[in-house]
């Protein structure tokens, strides 16, 4: 823990490539998610402390914001339609709200290599000590495009080394973050690296 000049606490966490971590965050604290080397996706999920049945929902977030795009000032909502986070800073502006966490079955379906492949589904479940059958995160820094016919394509992230997005917690939450494990597509520009998380407040 590092004390700032104003006496507020600051904690830094490094999530190694292809791994995950859980972090408890109190209402009012800020969470900065930093792409250390650039071009790396972070799967970002959270549940309410004391009630894991209330959790971050990209689907509800799309519904409430009436948009597939996240913008500064937008809120991230829970499955119960309560604001969970507010976006206060964003260096990149391109994130994905559609794709679930990668998992062994996904690697088998697309690449026939799911056995023992590191994956965000297991990494976040393990970090949170949960057994969720599916995890729908916000895929920070993941750059996807939707064509007029509905086709979704994945492109290399636009994030550069040190780029970040900062949230303010609106509730007491336990965050589960994974540094995405995909090297088989453009998702992480075919190279996995680490993610830094900074908690202030």
When pLDDT is averaged across residues 111-124 and rounded to a whole number, the result is 97
Contact 125, 131 (CB under 8 A): yes
CA 138 from chain centre, in angstroms, equals 5
Q: Does the pLDDT of residue 86 top 80, yes or no?
A: yes
SS3 39: coil
Biggest distance spanned by C-alpha atoms of the chain: 53
Q: Report the distance separating Cα 8 and Cα 192, nearest Å.
A: 33
Q: Worst-scoring range by mean pLDDT, 1-15, 53-67, 159-173?
A: 1-15
The pLDDT, as a whole number, for residue 8 is 75
pLDDT attached to residue 1: 44
Q: Any residues with CB less than 8 A from the CB of 22 and at least 6 apart, and which?
A: 127, 128, 129, 174, 175, 176, 177
- The 3-state secondary structure of 158-200, one letter per residue: CCCCCCEEEEEECCCEEEEEEECCCCCCHHHCCCCCCEEEEEE
Q: In which residue are the tokens 């995405």 written?
A: 180
Q: Average pLDDT, stretch 163-171?
A: 98
Distance CA 198, CA 180 (A): 18
Quote the DSSP letter at residue 154: E
Q: 197 has which bridge partners? A: 13, 33
**Domain boundaries in the chain?**
11-200
pLDDT of residue 7: 58
Residue 6 confidence (pLDDT)? 57
Kindly state the average pLDDT of the residues 30-50.
98
Mean pLDDT, residues 79-92 taken together:
98
Whole-number pLDDT of residue 96: 98
For residues 162-178, give the mean pLDDT: 98
Determine the average pLDDT of the residues in 20-33.
Answer: 98
> pTM surpassing 0.85?
yes
The rounded distance, in Å, linking the Cα atoms of 59 and 136 is 9
Cα separation, 103 vs 135, in Å, equals: 10
Summary mean pLDDT of the chain: 96
């Amino acid at each position: 823990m590092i004390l700032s000049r104003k006496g507020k606490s600051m904690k830094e966490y490094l999530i190694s490539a292809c791994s995950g971590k859980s972090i408890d965050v109190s209402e009012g604290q800020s969470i900065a998610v930093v792409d250390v080397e650039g071009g790396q996706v972070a799967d970002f999920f959270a549940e309410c402390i004391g009630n894991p049945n209330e959790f971050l929902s990209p689907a509800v977030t799309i519904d409430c914001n009436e948009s597939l795009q996240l913008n500064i000032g937008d809120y991230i909502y829970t499955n119960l339609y309560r604001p969970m986070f507010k976006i206060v800073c964003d260096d990149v502006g391109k994130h994905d709200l559609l794709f679930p966490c990668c998992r062994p079955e996904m690697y088998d379906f697309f690449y026939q290599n799911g056995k023992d492949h590191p994956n965000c589904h297991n990494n976040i479940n393990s970090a949170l000590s949960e057994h969720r059958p599916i995890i729908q995160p916000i895929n920070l820094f993941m750059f996807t495009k939707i064509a007029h016919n509905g086709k979704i394509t994945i492109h290399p992230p636009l994030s550069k080394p040190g780029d970040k997005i900062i949230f303010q917690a609106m509730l007491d939450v336990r965050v589960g973050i994974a540094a995405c494990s995909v090297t088989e597509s453009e998702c992480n520009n075919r190279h996995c690296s680490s993610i830094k998380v900074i908690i202030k407040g």
